[in-house]
Structure 1
Amino acid sequence: MHTAPHPTARRQRGITLVESTTVLAVAAVVVGIAVPSFDQMRQRQHLEGIALQFETDVHHARSVAVARQQTVRISFASDAAASCYVLHTGAASACHCGANGAPVCGAGAEPLRTVRLDAAREARLTANVASMVFDPVRGTVTPTGTVTVATANGRALKHTVNIMGRVRSCSPDGAVPGYRAC
């Protein structure tokens, strides 16, 4: 036997204002927790990208020196606003970064690549040498040096370039996951 629904009982359709407000509040908390970790992940990936680009440029400079049978240099510069490096031919003082980030070269030097990092927006690159020279005959690098790429949040990666042009990377205090501490 089938009974009819009670005439005063209604079926509820949709969601109530209280339910939707509760869902929005929970979503806001989840987003509030996730946003800082997304920013940290973005900064870490940016740091790793800059560091890998430098490592690639070291290998490129060595390859170009050997292929062209010509001395190639990486020259470093840094000030309060930005830091940069220029891969170039010629003497150590033959190329530097201009104020707009473009290479400024003289005395027959040829710029091969320039990387400029805005200290406020991106990262800072510092080196313990003014330039590194890639020998076209032996493929060696002199002087050897350490280049540090650091972001505003304090994370950093150090690259040590040895005499053979190999780059060894590490993270000071192990602050960057995936890199050994140095």
Structure 2
Amino acid sequence: MLVQMNASRIKGLSLIELLVVVAVLGIVLAVATPSLTDLMNKRRVQLIANELSTDLAYARSEGGLRNKRTGMTFRSSDTMSCYTIQVFLAARGCDCTKGAGVACDGNIELRTTQIPSLTGVSLVLGDAFVGEFKNLDFTAPLRIVEPAPSAIRVVGNRGYILEVRISVLGRVLICSPDGKFGGVQPC
């Protein structure tokens, strides 16, 4: 009889074994989550810096093709950073916080990009940027109209920073101001 009871016993995990596995998984996740969050924020900073660099080159080329004052208007708020590429017909730039397709009133909107604060990334121009308009204008022969920001910082909430620098002739360079961003040249 004893032999029959052991043969019919069902094999499986005990409650203690299951709790040990859950505890080990919890420890692994607790260690890996900050690294994953850092990696995602670093990648977002890099992607937005690359997109901004491409958009600056696009605005410069549109200035040459259209032979009109063309450029970008930057704006920032508590909820987002944004910019609009436009052909200037009116004196004031567009308001990118309104969204794509409705950002310009009197100017020709070519592209509007919004970066919500929830992404953990923001744009910084100069010393104080929150809320105010900053224009970056290109005119023939594709030079930047002064005053212009020499660098636009793409700042991540985990400490990652890239600068998108633009020369007076409109050439774009992405660099790391503190030299700690791997794979990007220091400024």
Tell me the TM-score normalised to structure 2 length.
0.77
For the pair 1:140 / 2:138, whether they are aligned, the reply is no
| SS of structure 2 residue aligned to 1:125 | strand
Q: 1:139 to 1:70 in 2, by over 3 A?
A: same
1:160 aligns with 2:165: yes
| Number of aligned residues | 174
Equivalent residue runs for 1:10-159 within 5 Å? 10=6, 13-90=11-88, 93-97=91-95, 99-101=97-99, 102-106=102-106, 109-119=107-117, 121-128=119-126, 130-136=134-140, 138-143=141-146, 145-159=150-164
Cα offset, 1:99, TM superposition: 4.5
Aligned partner letter, 1:173: D
Distance change >3 Å, CA 98–CA 68, structure 1 → 2: closer
Structure 2 counterpart of 1:118, which letter?
P
Deviation at 1:61, TM superposition (A): 0.8
Query: Which has the higher Rg, Structure 1 or Structure 2?
Result: 1
Contact 1:77 1:96 in 2 (8 A): no
Relative to its length, the structure with more helix (as a share) is 2
Q: C-alpha deviations, 1:110-131, integer Å up to 9, x for none?
A: 1111122333544221223932
How far apart are the structure 2 equivalents of 1:19 and 1:122? 39
Deviations 1:77-104 (A, max 9, x none): 2344433222111157432215533413
In structure 2, runs of 5+ residues without a counterpart are: 127-132
| Aligned AA (2:165) | T
Aligned to 1:179: 184
The amino acid that maps onto 2:143 is T
- Find the aligned partners of 1:93 and 1:27 in 2 and give their Cα distance: 59
CA RMSD of aligned residues (A): 2.7
Structure 1 residues 79 and 9: alpha-carbon distance in aligned structure 2, compared to 1, 3 A threshold? closer
Q: Residue type matched to 1:97 in 2?
A: D
Any idea what SS the aligned residue of 1:29 has? helix
TM-score with structure 1 setting the length: 0.79
